[in-house]
Amino acid sequence: MPNRLILFVCTGNVCRSPMAEYMLRRALGPESPWETASAGTAAVHGMPASRGAALVMAEIGLDLGAHRSRPVEAAMVDEAAMAVVMTTVHRQHMEIMFPAAAQKIFLLASFRPGGGDIEDPLGFDLDVYRRIRDEMAAAMPELAAFVNKLQIG
């Protein structure tokens, strides 16, 4: 049976990937057979979500308090049905690190009008975090529809 995990990947796993993880989880709904998770290409273990990420997600009713960062590892990529990355550089990094997974690595912005990369808001003010959150939110309906069409067994 194919795996039921959607893995989001950014750099430090404290801003973009946890924000996307929690947004897709909500978009899919509590009855969904899909799980969401996140990791980072340069993450360390155990860091909470950045203050900015936590604050702008709380504004839309999502609590990142339980999030702890972790580096992306082969086992989690193998387990995932999809790995959704924030930038073309992340995609390239993932394809080098996990060449067998290349066909299941997707750019998040490919699920929203305009495409492009999702910039890193770390170190910027809340307006930048809000803009990044909203850019990611614009991709969630199409991403959720895509995920719901995947075969899970």
Q: Which of 10, 15, 91, 133 is catalytic?
A: 10
Q: Which of 15, 16, 91, 112 is catalytic?
A: 16
Q: Which of 4, 26, 117, 120 is catalytic?
A: 120
Q: Is 10 a catalytic residue?
A: yes
Q: Is 120 a catalytic residue?
A: yes
Q: Is 15 a catalytic residue?
A: no
- Tell me, letter by letter, the H, E, C secondary structure of the chain: CCCCEEEEEECCCCCHHHHHHHHHHHHHCCCCCCEEEEEECCCCCCCCCCHHHHHHHHCCCCCCCCCCCCECCHHHHHHEEEEEECCHHHHHHHHHHCHHHHHHEEEHHHHCCCCCCCCCCCCCCHHHHHHHHHHHHHHHHHHHHHHHHCCCC
Which active-site residues does the annotation give? 10, 16, 120
